[in-house]
Structure 1
Amino acid sequence: MAGQSHHTLPAPTFERAPKLLIVVAPYYSGIAGELVAGAKAAIEAAGGTWEIAEVPGALEVPIAIRIAHRQSNFDGFVALGCVIRGETTHYDTVCNDSSRALTLLGLEGACIGNGILTVETMEQAETRAEAAGQNKGGGAAEAALHLIALTRRFSRPERGIGFKPASAEYRLATGADDEDPKTA
């Protein structure tokens, strides 16, 4: 509803800068540009870094994220694009399938902020995308940043596998450094 306020979480902070991939479908290039500007600003404000990957349309956004999630070292992802209702049911398919795919990737552990706009008109898209306005690109980046922070908060400490190397004290006490490996 117009005029209703909503709560916005404070931006997370990071000891180690997060690295995000912004995946954008620039089908409506002006809208995409505003979404990307908002996302970049939010990531940089959190001390993070970003890369951009462009794909043809909203349906390809989750596929690109899946590829990057499996084959790269990004901490999170920002999905950006715009789908405007047309005269056919294609709108429903694109909106539902891209959203569902992003949700499934999130359930697999990918930290994704969904900034794919699904609107009735170009005017609605412009209002939502404007970085100085509703800034849905920035909001999507902030969502990804919050999920990264949550993932880091609940991650288990890394545990090595195999044997630990002998300490220097042990090697000195036992003379392990004096042994010739060929004769030992």
Structure 2
Amino acid sequence: MAAPSVVSVPPAPLMPPPQSAVETLPRGPRPKDGTAGWIRPGDYPALAVKNGESGVVGFTLTIDAKGAVNNCVVVSTSGSAALDRATCDLISARAQFQPALDGAGKPVAGSYTNRTRWILPPPATLPQPGELIFHYVVETDGRQTECHVEKATGAMEARFKQIGEGCPAVRFREPFKDAQGNPVRRHVTLRQSLVVEP
């Protein structure tokens, strides 16, 4: 399934202060590293995908004087319980803040309000038949060498792209050994196929 698109929608922008202006206190809590990593493409709840649910979740976080999230409340629902719950669960676990400051610049508890748009991922494409065959050699010191792809068709072309022009640099813990326990060089062939049956 293609990765869902989850976009954080910031509050309406404010006019920026003049460059000469000095920051005034007090101020509210601020995300430490922005909001981008709070909800990630792989986070889309399976139940929401199954039910075709999407929407915008408005939330308010309670932030303690150390910048940790103490609580999350959905203030405007997306209409999907799964998306609302996932929003608070994920953000509570991942969000980090610079705490709010009082008029003297001392860290204090505060609150932060924002919203997140969940965009339903496109339907997954059906798997297509394909085959991948590649070869490599395991040397007597465990190094992998001489990798080349013999065949990559259909769905297995994606696997070929992961391999690229050659195998990744791999060193096995142990090489192959002969009957006497001596390291030996061996040629390895890997065959993978995807078959769609009636």
Q: Is the shorter-chain TM-score for this pair beyond 0.5, marking a shared fold?
A: no
Name the structure with the higher helix share: 1
Q: Which has the higher contact order (CA 8 A, sep 6+)?
A: 1
TM bucket, shorter chain: under 0.3
